[in-house]
């Protein structure tokens, strides 16, 4: 079994580790947070002290960092994967699961190829809990030969996946999917807030809407959190959703597309952040709607 290094041990990195460890892969974990590194270590798992150490020990690497800038830093920085691969005298494969700027990823992949790094993007549609259960949907972008090299590992992380062509296309699909998903969350949240203002208890209304023609899968993942106002065990955080929506809006502006609903959704996420809810589960969008008064 290949030894796999996971760089970034947050919600998604931890879920991916559960998938790969469950399939029998020895794991190396690295995060800038020493506490997360310590928590990661265990049977079949070791914590690396640096990216250089992770590259030296691993057969391939999985990135689960926060944003595009971190992906570029971790891969191209002076202490990053490219430099470590050169120092170790080997070519390495990288699977990037972060949601990133598609144009910057499209430009990054060939630069990394020149550094002996084969880069495959795999942004995943699904919460961290869904990914841990094998229910995430992987959106693959990269050179065919690079994808083929890591196909078996991709299948472990995401049994359901789609190859979308060159690097950047996976991210383009992920942003569009997240746009639809976020607006589904907003529609459910607004419906709950409206029902409450109309005099219905959320507990009374939610089973009705879930069985109605308005049903969407987001009701299964976020609905009960909205009803119970339970947001302190996040599967996807408010600040992560806001990062993605800002990225969508920037990308859309560059390509001449207006996103009026996404503009409003980002404003509601900003409201959550302003009220100290950045680290809450993104089902907390319902709180921004509950606060709105005419």
pLDDT, tens digit, 9 for 90 and up, residues 172-188:
999 999 999 999 999 99
pLDDT band at 116 (very low <50, low <70, confident <90, very high): very high
Q: So what's the pLDDT on residue 137? A: 98
Q: What is the pLDDT of residues 235-259, one digit of tens each?
A: 999 999 999 999 999 999 999 999 9
For domain 172-290, give the fold: 1.10.1040
Residues 6+ away with beta carbon under 8 Å from 16: 6, 62, 64, 97, 131, 157
pTM, rounded to two decimals: 0.94
Q: So what's the pLDDT on residue 293? A: 87
Residue 6 β-bridge partners: 29, 62
Strand 124-125 to strand 117-121: parallel, antiparallel, or no bridges (unpaired)?
Answer: unpaired
- Given the candidates 3.30.479.20, 2.60.40.60, 3.40.50.720, 3.40.640.10, the CATH classification of the domain at 4-166 is 3.40.50.720
Entry field: residues in the chain:
294
CA dist., res. 51 & res. 71, Å (int): 12
CA dist., res. 44 & res. 238, Å (int): 32
Which residue, among 126, 147, 128, 150, has the nearest Cα to 138 in the 3D structure? Answer: 126
CA dist., res. 206 & res. 77, Å (int): 48
Task: Work out the percent of the chain whose per-residue pLDDT is above 90.
Answer: 99
**CA distance to 143, 268, 294, per residue, from 261 (Å):** 34, 11, 19
Strand 92-96 to strand 45-47: parallel, antiparallel, or no bridges (unpaired)?
Answer: unpaired
| Residue intervals in the chain for CATH 1.10.1040.10 | 172-290
């Amino acid at each position: 079994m290949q030894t796999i290094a996971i760089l970034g041990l947050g919600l998604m990195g931890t879920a991916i580790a559960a998938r790969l460890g469950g399939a029998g892969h020895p794991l190396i974990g690295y995060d800038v947070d020493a506490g997360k590194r310590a928590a990661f270590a265990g049977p079949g798992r070791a914590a690396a002290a640096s990216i250089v150490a992770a590259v030296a020990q691993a057969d391939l690497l999985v990135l689960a960092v926060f944003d595009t800038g971190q992906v570029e830093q971790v891969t191209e920085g002076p202490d990053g994967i490219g430099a470590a691969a050169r120092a170790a005298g080997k070519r390495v494969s990288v699977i990037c699961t972060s949601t990133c700027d598609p144009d910057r990823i499209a430009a990054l992949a060939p630069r990394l190829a020149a550094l002996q790094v084969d880069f495959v993007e795999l942004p995943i549609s699904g919460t961290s809990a869904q990914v841990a259960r094998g229910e995430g949907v992987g959106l693959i972008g990269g050179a065919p030969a690079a994808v083929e090299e890591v196909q078996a590992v991709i299948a472990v992380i995401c049994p359901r996946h789609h190859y979308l062509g060159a690097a950047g296309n996976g991210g383009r699909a992920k942003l569009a999917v997240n746009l639809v998903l976020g607006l589904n969350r907003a529609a459910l949240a607004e419906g709950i807030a409206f029902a409450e203002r109309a005099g219905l208890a959320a507990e009374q209304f939610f089973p009705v809407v879930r069985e109605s023609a308005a049903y969407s899968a987001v009701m299964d993942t976020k609905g009960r959190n909205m009803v119970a106002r339970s947001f302190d065990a996040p599967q996807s955080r408010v600040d992560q959703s806001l990062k993605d929506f800002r990225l969508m809006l920037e990308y859309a502006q560059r390509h001449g597309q207006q996103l009026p609903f996404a503009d409003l959704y980002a404003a509601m996420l900003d409201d959550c952040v302003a009220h100290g809810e950045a680290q809450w589960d993104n089902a907390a969008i319902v709180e921004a709607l509950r606060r709105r008064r005419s």
